[in-house]
Structure 1
Amino acid sequence: MKRIFLFILTNLAVLVVISVILSLLGISGNPNNMGSLLAFSAVVGFTGSIISLLTSKMVAKRSVGAEVITQPQNELESWLLNTVAAQAKQWNVKTPEVAIYHSPEPNAFATGASKNNSLVAVSTGLLQNMSRDEVEAVLAHEMAHVGNGDMVTLTLIQGVVNTFVVFLSRLISNMVATNDRGETNGGIYFLVSMVLQVLFGFLASFIVMWFSRQREYRADAGAAKLVGAPKMIAALQRLKGETSELPKEMTALGIASEAKKDSLLSTHPSLDNRIARLKGM
């Protein structure tokens, strides 16, 4: 719950900061002009999401200290590169960068600005604690995220959600701060706008988290098609009881999940639900 709260808080902070910067620069959507307000809201809403997408690989590498495999140093690294390359070919996408990061917890993630500019990283804990079949399934899950374009889709959804958060908060704030003579109190407008932006942003996060859970089911299904459902089920079974130690801003990217049951603020479905969904395929 703490990580989800920080994830939401970070997104809201970006919205508020961009709104304030644009306002100080004199760029402010006119609440009395729907077109102007919507355009302003879209700029604020998409800016943070797009920046996050474009810098996602760099941030991910630095956050976990991931080391990209350029020249394999051993048989395991060669196997990783060959496995990801084969799966990328099945998805008809460019082979992602493959990296390993040091962590005792079994985990992996995929990120990147597009299907053909992506990164797949696995932890040392995952390589040490899983069989080759299970690692292959985890890699297939991450490649399904890449092949499905989940990073771009999540960015677009976050941008659209942010746009309406800003739009509605400013529209309602203008109604509250404007008196019968058509005069608007700037202080009240700003204060109400910030409060509503936080409130609507929190409520809108339910939509983003719902999509995040659905993309995990789709990635599991994609992996099952590549390597078979039994391998994916075995990998998820192995993850039960493990914790995710990814940085808070990357929790939604990892395959491991701490959730014991689904909730409105879960980035991942519970492992039991994911396994049940695969068994029902």
Structure 2
Amino acid sequence: MNTHANEVDKGERFEFGANWAQFLNVLNDERIELAEQSLRTMLGVTDLKGKRFLDVGSGSGLFSLVARRLGATVHSFDYDPKSVACTSELKRRYFPDDPDWVIEQGSVLDEDYLQTLGQWDIVYSWGVLHHTGAMWRALENVIPSVHQRGTLYIAIYNHQRVMTPVWTWVKRTYNRLPLGLRWLVLGPALIRLWGPRTVYDLLRGKPFYTWRHYAEHSSRGMSAWRDVVDWVGGYPFEVAKPEEVFRFYLDRGFVLRNMVTCGGGLGCNEFVFARASTP
């Protein structure tokens, strides 16, 4: 199996962690509170006291931080060493030397590693499993980590019949270009993604309003620019229709508790499943 560094060198993988490191420069209390509210809303809880929370692909570490703030015991892991470093930095800032928050490097495709982690009340993986290069295997691999009557919260890119092949080409091309030439892809993609909204804001006399207030608009405390880079660069890249994800977990003993879709467009569909029985 190729290491993370080899995959990046070959243009087969985007360095998510390097992008998240830049996001940490703009992370503040307001963004953290927005992320916290989004997690409470989707899970239908006020806190996570007494719960064990497994963050599969922790990325920036923001939602591991949020889960810990809500009272959960947290285990974070990521395949990208720079993402591990980002998560570790947030722990250093907010929960230094906390034994109830463990951070490791690991892969959701490594079944032996997952077995060492045991089972968890909440298994969380937002926008991660479709970047593994083996999405359906990853979706399968997280199942044993969910405790009986536990919760699985995932977000998976939506399938678009016309645009999915286009974006796959864009992402592959971006990662295979030298760093100094990636703007050739990023620039046009930025115009495609933000052009219509920017014109709309200008016409209503609020130039760049949506861009400047993106953290509130995204409801997850994210950064507009870092989300653009993440989207354009995010490779490997797989997608699924909402009904495919629903059926996949229904057939494996899960019940859908909550769902938010992107309305058939660009972005992620979010699912909260409860494990009802042993498949």
Report TM bin, short chain.
Answer: under 0.3
Which structure has more helix as a fraction of its residues? 1
TM-score, normalised to structure 1's length? 0.27
TM-score of the two chains, using structure 2 as the length reference: 0.27
Which of the two has higher C-alpha Rg? 1
Considering fraction of residues, name the structure with more strand: 2
